[in-house]
Amino acid sequence: MRYAHHTGLLARGPWLPLLLALGALAATVTPALAGPPRDPRPGPGPVPAFTPGGPATTSGDLTAAGAEIYEGHAFDTCDAPSAAAMRDWLDSPYRAVGVYIGGRGRACSAQPNLTPDWVADVDSMGWRLLPLYVGSQAPCVRDDDKSRVPIDATRPRQQGAAEAADAIAAAESLGLAPGSPIYLDMEDYDQRDGACADTTLAFVQAFSRHLTDRGWIPGFYSSATSGIAHLEDARVSGAADLPDVLWYARWRTAPTLVDEPVLDPGAWQPHRRIHQYEGDVTETHGGRSMRVDRNVVHAPVAVLHNDHQVNP
């Protein structure tokens, strides 16, 4: 969507029919194996010095880290819809929603509906949440609006860790618990610019490491041909502290979690992928219209402090 997602993508080859009907993929959730939830912290707190971690792990069962796994369709939209709208959209094939919980690059910053009560309400309806954080952006970001919040090239790791602490505070203020993912939204950028790519990767690594160290699951959203391709190259090169989950935008293609050309089929598996396959479209369900992006998901969703068990 223009407010958050500028993918710069073109469809590959002939347009493919949507082989996966939206209503055909039932939503399922894998129970968490998390221990007792921690108490929310009042603020981000101090940020420790960053030291590189071990080799990146982009495979394995994330439920061991307390993850709840959703498999099905999801939508995201700039402002979290009202609880009434979410109730109306129970008539849709979606059972998960992307919500923008914070970050200095977030377009819809007011978020009047996004409160702890809203989170509890939509969770009780059966919705699963995909928390997105739009922080500092690559210095070579292609979106003019996002260029106003660049990563500081003189201290990308310190800034990445600080923004991860802010993301955790934002998530906890909504009632989310460790074991939840936080998806860092990094808009389309020129990963062929070496200095910019190095700065961006350092920021992402520090952001991911800070989340992991505190029991959260680091995710990463970007366009397939920029940020996702960049992280795949980093994985192949043996880079440490990469995100656990990738959310890739490749529009006007069939919804697939296995055929993304820039990713090795065995990387970021299992249940570590989200594909945003269409954007900026209007849909009507339950008599209510919304402009959304469409996603197919097999990935972690938010865990609530007061509900570490899966709702039916």
Q: What is the pLDDT of residues 160-214, one digit of tens each?
A: 999 999 999 999 999 999 999 999 999 999 999 999 999 999 999 999 999 999 9
What pTM does this model have?
Answer: 0.83
Looking at residues 69-93, what average pLDDT do you find?
98
CA–CA distance, 41 with 34 (Å, rounded to integer): 18
Cα separation, 28 vs 15, whole angstroms: 29
**What pairing do the DSSP bridges indicate for beta strands 181-185 and 128-133?**
parallel
Residue position matching structure tokens 């707190």: 45
Q: Which two tokens stand for residue 169?
A: 């505070």
Cis amide prior to 270 (ω within 30 degrees): yes
SS3 (DSSP) at 292? strand
pLDDT at 307: 62
